Chain A
Amino acid sequence: MKSKNIKEIKKEGKMKVPGIIYASEKLLKSIENDKTTNQIKNVAELPGILKASMAMPDAHRGYGFCIGGVAAFDLKEGVISPGGVGYDINCGVRLLKTNLTLKDLKGKEKKLSEKLYEKIPSGVGRGSPFQLTYRELDEVLEKGVEYLIEKGYAKKEDLKHIEEGGRLKKSDSSKVSERAKKRGIGQLGTLGSGNHFLDVQIVEEIFDKKIAKKWDLKKDQLVVMVHCGSRGLGHQVASDYIKLMEEEYGIENLPDRELINAPIKSKLGKDYLLAMNSAANFAFANRQIVTHWTREVFEEIFPKSKVEIIYDVCHNIAKIEEYKINGKKRKVCVHRKGATRSFENQPVLIPGSMGTSSYILVGTKKAEKETFGSTAHGAGRVMGRKNAKENLSLKSLEKDLKNKKIIIKAGSKKTMLEESPEVYKDIEEVIKVVEGLGISKRVAKLKPAIVIIG
């Protein structure tokens, strides 16, 4: 133990750097039970990795990289890996604020939940009413949310409140396969299934008055949180480049087949970065269309309502960013797989599970120094879906949500049970750890009122 809640995994074997798990004893137990430690060590073997292979407090087992994994690579010697980004490229969270409060919601909860559920496609196979041609899809892939201003689905002001302004400029739609485009073209503006959701939440507690004021957050205010990603398009981009990299570099020397990678400076590495950025733009656009429809539903029910973006963060992404390492400034490629960027003064959004609180935090200089500007992204799973189905009861979950006055709209009871609060780690513990470490600071706590899942 270097210091509290920092556990170092010593360099051994082929590891080029040590591993670091940022977790309390309590969180560490579930992380260590889960083969996550092996995955952290495997990542430490990759060429050009800098400082350490890191895991955030909500880490759990993933593919290749663990979920909650952060790793930065040297641009000359280093690699880029689709497994370090994840299949759901730019899966992320967006938080919208309204000029409404808990009082305004009274008596309209049911109507609001029904209208939102009706308007915003969730679940499996529910296609999107947002139709576009392949040419328009290419525009989305290259311009992200900027393109949606032209289409009337975004306001110029929105761009200021999205990571990267809702557009990663180094994109190229020709690097995204026809298969990926075919999978994604009917899915723009949809949540999908699994752990994706749209929640209407209430600001329950303010911790940092000054920042809350700056971000226009007040106690009892209604906010909307959206969690979704790049849908089939992004998933296919990941699969496509995993295959291409296997063909180019082979799998013989890898500690895990899912750690396939390409040198950042290679043609394939550059192509993947362009395709990944395009898929990320698709994901930004996806959350933007969901935002547009949310605005429409709110306007219908609350004619004087104003719905604005507080922020939108990516939590599955690789980015070229600049850091001071050993006193020298240098550009690196940071992989965040189930981790949130946490730059100084930037809003950080960390959702809990369906019946528990979510948090708005603020990024810090400390994170920029310690964790390549990264922090946790959620509560992190601790129980598998099979286990959930066998051991949890739908009835008690429904009762619990009813007691907490949470309205739930779920496409399938199966998903509902599999996303029970019990399958996640304690969000309060995760928040306590990131705050204690200083890699992000609490601004406000949110509690759910309406939950929509696939």
Chain B
Amino acid sequence: MKKFIFLEHTADIKFQAFGKSLEKAFENSAYALKKTIYSKKIKKKLIKKVSIKGKDQESLLYNFLEELIFLFDSEKFLLSKIKELKIEENKLKAILVGDLAENYNLEMHIKAITYNEMFVKKEKNKWIVQVVLDI
């Protein structure tokens, strides 16, 4: 199974991320976001723990990805890998590892996560999430 694919969009970045579980699909959506900012490897030097709430699966995804942008803008934290990610009833806890952004020649700044065309759904045994990033 592919982790994620990028789709065509006139002005912005649109992707779908996949997983056998909801957790995996969320994890892979974070990797798609990371790849938009920087397409090469990031070192694993720092650890961040995040705890996110949502009203539904979509808003949980929105808030989770927004936290990554927030960490990037405010603390220059760039994601390399997700060590652990748990979702229980629209609550998400994750342990992220990564590095400081200033060590890399980055490619794209993401302005915001959007609800535009967003979905979180299960098809047979596969979870699919779709996100459009405002850049």
A interface vs B, CB < 8 Å? 34, 60-64, 67, 87-88, 123-125, 127, 179, 182-184, 186-187, 192-194, 232, 235-236, 238-239, 242-243, 246-247, 256-258, 381-387, 411-412, 414-415, 454
Task: Verify if B24 is at the interface (C-beta below 8 Å from A).
Answer: no
Which chain B positions have C-beta within 8 A of A258?
A: 114-116
Complexed CA–CA distance, A224 and B25 (Å): 45
Tell me whether A386 and B6 are in contact (CB under 8 A): yes
Q: Which of A63, A88, A186, A246 has the most chain B CB atoms inside 10 A of its CB? A: A63
Which chain A positions have C-beta within 8 A of B101?
A: 124-125
Which chain A positions have C-beta within 8 A of B108?
A: 124, 193-194, 412, 414-415
Interface-located stretch among B44-52, B66-74, B79-87, B88-96:
B66-74
Task: Verify if B55 is at the interface (C-beta below 8 Å from A).
Answer: yes
Q: Which of B59, B74, B116 has the most chain A CB atoms inside 10 A of its CB? A: B74
Partner among B39, B66, B109 whose Cβ is within 8 Å of the Cβ of A124: B109
Which chain A positions have C-beta within 8 A of B63?
A: 243
Total of A-B residue pairs, C-beta within 8 Å: 116
Interface residue tally for chain B (C-beta within 8 Å): 39
Task: Verify if B1 is at the interface (C-beta below 8 Å from A).
Answer: no
Tell me whether B135 and A63 are in contact (CB under 8 A): no
**Which chain A residue lies CB-closest to B100?**
A125
Min CB–CB distance B29 → chain A (angstroms): 17
Tell me whether A63 and B55 are in contact (CB under 8 A): no
Tell me whether B10 and A60 are in contact (CB under 8 A): yes
Q: Mark B111-124, 1 if CB is under 8 A from A, else 0.
A: 11111101000000
Tell me whether A384 and B74 are in contact (CB under 8 A): no
Q: Which of B11, B59, B74, B106 has the most chain A CB atoms inside 10 A of its CB? A: B11
Known: A124-B109, A179-B70. A34 touches B10 (CB 8 A): yes
Complexed CA–CA distance, A382 and B59 (Å): 30
Complexed CA–CA distance, A256 and B132 (Å): 14
Which chain A positions have C-beta within 8 A of B111?
A: 87-88, 194, 232, 235
